[in-house]
Structure 1
């Protein structure tokens, strides 16, 4: 990961943006503030409510919280 020409460099970002486009659409907002509000609302949903299959059907927020607790106890 991270090498020039690696096809995996942007896979996670491209996957996220494809999901973002699919879930909030590609419409044109009246103002930049409206677009920003909708994107931030989606990010809140994505991180706190939307279940993801990779981290065992948990939200990213739950995954990070469990990761911190596990590493804090090990240290």
Structure 2
């Protein structure tokens, strides 16, 4: 018998059984979420909710092959803060003739709880 016929008549492997089972679980979780969950949330639901050890890449692969897609979220723009900034008291002239006449500091790097 040739190798092709042996491969064709071979029973399904454990991986293909697991992928079929995971694909069924993925579609169940996806439909339970009203067809909104993407790969990240499906992965979180399976690992945290169902306690199944599965990789994120495997979830992406199985969702792609099954044609299951999540709803794209809206892109949120970065908020423009309304914090007032200090005025430029030295008019960008940072050189002085004598010491201790101009002290300059920058506190924008230090995070605050505001």
TM bracket, shorter-chain basis: 0.3 to 0.5
Higher share of residues assigned helix? 1
TM-score (norm 2): 0.29
Rg: which structure is higher?
2
Greater relative contact order: 1 or 2 (C-alpha under 8 angstroms, separation 6 or more)? Answer: 2
